[in-house]
Chain A
Amino acid sequence: MTPAGSVRWSARDWVPGERLVGREAETDLPADAPVVGVLALQGDVLEHLRALRRCGARAVRVRSLADLDGLDGLVLPGGESTTIGKLLVLAGLLDPLRARIADGLPTFGTCAGMILLSRELDQETPQPVLGVLGVRTRRNAFGRQVDSFDTALAIAGVEGGPMDVSFIRAPWVEDVLDDDVEVLADVDGRPVVVRQGNVLATAFHPEVTGDDRLHQAFVDSLR
């Protein structure tokens, strides 16, 4: 009894939430559509999978080492960075992922993803990070949940006007550590979109708003 246009649930390779709705069928994808993995340990994995599929990518779940094979790009979703970091260690994924990204795998992280990509965190308590983006990031920098906000934000290189974005217990970049880190957007002088080589990170969640322009640019860059 799956909804029209979806394929039947099978026991493998799905993410929380898909059991109820079924998987959208991947129709009309050209054979050379880029394959983008979404790290599926915890967080809003399904939102990223859907955004990537809307943008013409073959989006797949990444939960183990074997899932890294054949990826053209990688997304680190929103979620709890402390949780995802611990699960990366348990899954034996921290070092292999770090190596793949350092080796040039195009990678896009949102919110918790930005934190996990950062080289340093502005806090005393240590937590596992990939450390492939030359910034020091401050977690929960905008405050607690009652301070979470929606806004329209102009981003360098994104055409068609400001993006509609949600900052949810969001981080910001406290310090840029490398000369080649580009700041593509800021909020009151705090960088919230940064890019360094093959790594792109946002402090907000483009995946929950339906404004797919960053996802589209990321997928297009992989073709």
Chain B
Amino acid sequence: MSDPRTGTTRVKRGLADMLKGGVIMDVVTPEQARIAEDAGAVAVMALERVPADIRRDGGVARMSDPDMIDSIVAEVSIPVMAKARIGHFVEAQVLQALGVDYIDESEVLTPADEAHHIDKWQFDVPFVCGATNLGEALRRLTEGAAMIRSKGEAGTGNVVEATRHMRSIAGEIRRLTTMDEAELFAAAKEHRAPYDLLAEIAETGRLPVVLFTAGGIATPADAAMMMQLGADGVFVGSGIFKSGNPEQRARAIVEATTSFDDPSVIAKVSRGLGEAMVGINIDTLPEDQRYASRGW
């Protein structure tokens, strides 16, 4: 064997490839992490409060307590992700030192920098970042993100924003594939992203990284719809542990994500799930409480 090379773009993007077709679940305790792994989650997102509680409590939301992250890392054998605030590169350094497998530079936490995202090329640990449209996804890739998730509107239990963002990203990619050279140059300006990256996507018809969806997924049908819209996999935040029967709902969302194009399976797993999280209509959210508008 030649000298091993760690922290390469290929191993960073590669871990996300291995998560495809899977569900990543927000957990706040080792007990919830155990439930998530037992239900078939491909990874867990360790955080102090799920987005619905961050909304309720208000205040500044930050990186989780290292003790809490350690306890979750010790509990499960699947990858553990954790969130850093947008632009907070020291929180990211701490999370890398703790050995988390993926960092989510997340709009769900309160942004720490209003002009700069984290320079993600400086890290060996890979990053996932949110995006509401193709331009935002491309700018995150340029900064070194190894995985993209559509933002949706976290903590609402309302899938409408996730739908908007998935359709926007997928539609803009399809448009790129029909453009000629001159149009691609114009598109690069419009998306504020490097021409080479756009040209690559125009050629392949997809992002060079895995695209998950997030923000408002609460039911098995929500997850399957996102998969049919072109997502590679699903993040579920408040939707599981804010529901009436987390174990069963977690399993149901995992099964629906796998069998996303088989309505008979989705119907079967949707039976008798009990209460879904209550949910919020996006129209009633004040502008400053819309997380999707954080980041740029």
Please give the residue numbers on chain A whose beta carbons come within 8 Å of chain B beta carbons, in ascending order.
1-3, 6, 11-12, 14-17, 19-22, 40-47, 63, 78-80, 82-83, 86-87, 90, 111-112, 123, 125, 139-140, 144-154, 162, 166-169, 187-188, 205, 208-209
Contact = CB atoms under 8 A, between A and B. Distances in A.
Judged by DSSP, the binding face of B is loop
A146 B123 CA distance: 9
A6 B8 CA distance: 31
A3 B177 contact: yes
A16 B227 contact: yes
Contact of B96 (A79, A86, A146, A205): A146
B213 to A, nearest CB: 11
A20 B210 CA distance: 11
Which of B1, B178, B227, B231 has the most chain A CB atoms inside 10 A of its CB? B1
A146 B125 contact: yes
B191 interface: no
Nearest to B39: A86
Interface of B: 1-8, 10-11, 14-15, 17-22, 37, 40-43, 77-79, 96, 99-102, 124-126, 170, 173-174, 177-178, 204-206, 210-211, 227-233, 254-255, 258-261
B75 to A, nearest CB: 11
A17 B8 CA distance: 23
Contacts of B11: 145, 148-150, 166-168
Contact of B102 (A145, A162, A209): A145
B79 A1 contact: no
Contact of B255 (A22, A90, A111, A144): A90
A164 to B, nearest CB: 9
Given A1-B177, A17-B232, A41 B205 contact: no
A12 B261 contact: yes
B101 A139 contact: no
Nearest to B260: A16
A16 B15 contact: no
8 contacts: A19-B227, A21-B204, A79-B20, A80-B42, A90-B255, A151-B2, A168-B11, A208-B17
Contacts of A22: 205
B10 A208 contact: yes
Contact of B99 (A79, A83, A144): A144
B77 A82 contact: yes
Nearest to B212: A16
Nearest to A188: B1
Contacts of A125: 77
